[in-house]
């Protein structure tokens, strides 16, 4: 199965009310020699989702300016797309949706 465009999501039914928790991490681009550059590829934020009943992580490209919100501020997810993340292991691969 190919998910090159991700999975389009109905955000109201899927997420419900979203509240900001924290900036989780910034992913930096790797240089050709394998070292980490100062250039940011994407930022991942922790949000609390009433619809999911738990915390979710949302990654946003670095082309979108840094977002700063107060803790528990209500936020909106614009054009959400679910992607897969695969991590190679010695016994195959682990996949997160």
Q: Which of the four pLDDT bands, split at 50, 70 and 90, describes residue 93?
A: low
> With the CA atoms of 13, 19, 23 and 27 taken in that order, what torsion angle do they form, in degrees rounded to the nearest 10?
10
* Higher-pLDDT residue of 75, 8: 75
Top pLDDT among 6 and 40 is at 40
Look up the pTM and report it: 0.74
Per-residue pLDDT of 26-58, as tens digits, reads 999 999 998 999 999 999 999 999 999 999 999
pLDDT at 97 (0 to 100):
52
Instruction: Please give the CATH superfamily to which domain 13-75 belongs.
Output: Conjugative transposon protein, DUF961 (2.40.50.390)
Which residue matches tokens 């991590």? 87
Instruction: Report the sign of the C-alpha dihedral through residues 6, 10, 12, 13, in that order.
Output: negative
CA-to-CA distance for 89 and 43, rounded, in angstroms?
Answer: 25
In the chain, what are the domain boundaries? 13-75
For residues 69 and 76, is the Cβ–Cβ distance under 8 A?
Answer: no
pLDDT band at 67 (very low <50, low <70, confident <90, very high): confident
């Amino acid at each position: 199965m190919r998910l090159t465009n991700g999975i389009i999501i109905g955000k109201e039914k899927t997420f419900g009310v979203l509240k900001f928790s924290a900036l989780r991490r910034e992913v930096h681009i790797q240089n050709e020699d394998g070292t980490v550059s100062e250039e940011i590829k994407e930022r991942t934020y922790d949000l609390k989702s009433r619809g999911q009943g738990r915390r979710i992580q949302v990654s946003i490209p670095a082309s979108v300016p840094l977002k700063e919100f107060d803790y528990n501020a209500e936020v909106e997810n614009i054009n959400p797309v679910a992607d897969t993340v695969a991590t190679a292991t010695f016994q195959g691969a682990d996949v997160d949706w």
